Structure 1
Amino acid sequence: MSVKKSPRVVVITGASGGIGRASARLFAQQGDHVALLARGSAGLEAAARELRDLGGDALAISVDTADHEALDRAADQVEAELGPIDVWVNDAFTSVFARFVDIEPEEFRRVTEVTYLGFVNGTRSALRHMLPRDSGVIVQVGSALAHRGIPLQSAYCGAKHAMWGFHESLLTELRHDHSNVQLTSVAMPAVNTPQFSWVLSKLPHQAQPVPPIYQPEVAARSVLYAAAHPERRAYWVGAATVGTIIGNRLAGGLLDRYLGRTGFASQQTDDPKPPDQPSNLFEPADDDHDFGAHGLFDTRASRHSPQAWASRHRRVLASAAATAAVAGGLRAVRQR
């Protein structure tokens, strides 16, 4: 199947901050029409202005992805105002930083409704329009934590694990039906997003991503690439993601013990948690303040991932390696 070239109609959930916002910029820069879906009005409006300043066509829609009926209405609005949806990126999530025993049942449920069922709802809304046309691409923004649980993030890890199982199941159904709708996912590393300033935290110190940390643009480049090359079922971003996933497959028990020793401290800075830190679990944290795409850790975050670049260009690298091997063989023959 050939993937449609720009301009495309692209829907991004969780588009007001972090990876979603950085991805929206890249899609707009290449001429795509972008629908920005999120809850917070200030973040949404700022993101839409950014895209228009880049010369893109932006449509901002305030919606809670946990509400499947509202998400269906948003998809209908996108089709009515921008045209047929070509790419749907599921990125919206929320979480709670806390021990499992300190998370209330309604808090755990809410994380699951947004971070897992929000992806299910978004996928269903996309398929409702894509399947009749037999075309379209859905990108699930996943995480290394979809394959390996860590302490203090039981709700998020559980939701991401569920997302991966859902992703695999739907892939098999689409292949059984010989559908031309494409489904792919991108497993992310620790990323410097605003989540550490607005996710509900019950930790004594400021929450942080587990180093090494990457800027949202690193993640966004892989989202953009996955949308254009959805034939792969999954992309892994960052050497730490590769090590986490493979390490868990080979030595999960050792990782249990290692994370039991290090996982609490590595997810907190030495600074106390701000007493007035907002929480976006039940209400948006960016209704009155735009947090942008980046979080608190710009000075510690890398703007590049050699592994992610190599993953996106592995065919070129394989061809270059094969060419080098042939050239080396010819030189060896000539020297005999």
Structure 2
Amino acid sequence: MLLRDKNAIVYGAGGIGRAVALVFAREGATVHLASRTQKRLDAVAEEIRSAGGTVHTAQLDALDEAAVDAHADAVAAESGSIDVSINLISVGDVQGTPLAEMSLRDFEQPIHSAVRTTFLTSRAAARYMLRQRSGVLLTFGGAGDPMHDYFIGGFQVALASVDMLRRQLAAELGPHGIRVVGLKTGGVPETIPADFPGRDALVESLVQPTMLGRTATLEDVGNAAAFAASDRAGAITASELNITCGAIVD
């Protein structure tokens, strides 16, 4: 098992958060799952327990500084360490509207949510990882080419901002034995609701530029996250795992 005896905090119990939490538990980690929605927390926790994994849940808003810090304090006090932290909350972005027609509020929503929650959750974990002189912070999303056939609003700007935050965290925390690794996908169609307007065309636009003729699956994301968080990736920091199936070339 890649993550045996590790304590991992996963923020977000939606599609990608669920997938990562399930793989983390399968690989031996004790998963501390945090989300705003109790129903989702309960559903994912039941899946993990049914498969023989260990999970603790907490209902919290990752935009709430005090709540994030208090949760990290509780995890460290009860479990003895925070070994892995990953923020996978939904940023509430608005897509499908041209930038020239978009309101400031809709544009900045994903930027505010992504940067604030990534900073708060990373800082909360890093404070304990500094004492341990070990730990892994994982971020999601990274810089990619602009989309020509779809209006993505402020979402890509948000991911690029998180990418820069990842780099700075890696530079500051690396001397203390803490790794910071990003996971970069070209989009995961399984997370797009079936009733999303123009879903088929959007999925095709994600598949078309790949070299493998497919996009990353939720299972792919979970497996990459588990590897990045494990000791087998001990030489990887300040970098991204490119799981775009060739849609983005490094």
**Same fold, TM exceeding 0.5?**
yes
1:236 pairs, out of 222, 242, 245, with 242
Count of residues in Structure 1 that have an aligned counterpart in Structure 2: 232
Question: If you compute each CA radius of gyration, which structure gives the higher value, 1 or 2?
Answer: 1
Structure 1 residue 31 corresponds to structure 2 residue 33:
no
Q: Which residue of 1 aligns with 2:7?
A: 9
Instruction: Give 1:179's aligned amino acid.
Output: H
Listed as ranges, the matches of 1:180-259 within 5 Å are 180-196=177-193, 205-206=198-199, 208-209=202-203, 210-211=206-207, 212-228=214-230, 229-232=233-236, 233-241=239-247, 244-246=248-250
Per-residue CA deviation, residues 76-127 of structure 1 (Å, 9 max, x unaligned), is: 2222333311111122232211222343322333312222221111111111
With structure 2 as the length reference, what TM-score do the two structures score? 0.83
Listed as ranges, the matches of 1:296-311 within 5 Å are none
Q: Which runs of 5 or more residues in structure 2 are unaligned?
A: 208-213
Which contiguous aligned blocks of 4+ residues in structure 1 show a shift greater than 6 angstroms?
A: none
2:51 pairs, out of 39, 47, 54, with 54
Q: Which residue of 1 aligns with 2:122?
A: 123
How far apart are the structure 2 equivalents of 1:149 and 1:66?
Answer: 27
Q: Which residue of 2 aligns with 1:293?
A: none
Per-residue CA deviation, residues 263-313 of structure 1 (Å, 9 max, x unaligned), is: xxxxxxxxxxxxxxxxxxxxxxxxxxxxxxxxxxxxxxxxxxxxxxxxxxx
Q: CA deviation at 1:148?
A: 2.3
Q: Which residue of 2 aligns with 1:138?
A: 137
How far apart are the structure 2 equivalents of 1:214 and 1:236?
Answer: 10
Listed as ranges, the matches of 1:306-325 within 5 Å are none
Q: CA deviation at 1:134?
A: 1.3
Are 1:135 and 1:181, in contact at CA under 8 Å, matched by a contact in 2? yes
Are 2:216 and 2:245, in contact at CA under 8 Å, matched by a contact in 1? no
Q: 1:239 to 1:31 in 2, by over 3 A?
A: closer
How far apart are the structure 1 equivalents of 2:186 and 2:43?
Answer: 26
Q: Which runs of 5 or more residues in structure 1 are unaligned?
A: 247-336
Listed as ranges, the matches of 1:58-73 within 5 Å are 58-73=55-70
Q: 1:32 to 1:76 in 2, by over 3 A?
A: same
How far apart are the structure 1 equivalents of 2:112 and 2:234?
Answer: 26
How far apart are the structure 2 equivalents of 1:239 and 1:214?
Answer: 6
Aligned-residue sequence identity (percent) comes to: 24
Per-residue CA deviation, residues 194-248 of structure 1 (Å, 9 max, x unaligned), is: 34469xx7xx53474422333200111111111111422221113334xx244xx
Are 1:141 and 1:223, in contact at CA under 8 Å, matched by a contact in 2? no
How far apart are the structure 1 equivalents of 2:216 and 2:249?
Answer: 17
How far apart are the structure 1 equivalents of 2:30 and 2:185?
Answer: 25
How far apart are the structure 2 equivalents of 1:48 and 1:40?
Answer: 12
Q: CA deviation at 1:137?
A: 0.9
How far apart are the structure 1 equivalents of 2:234 and 2:36?
Answer: 28
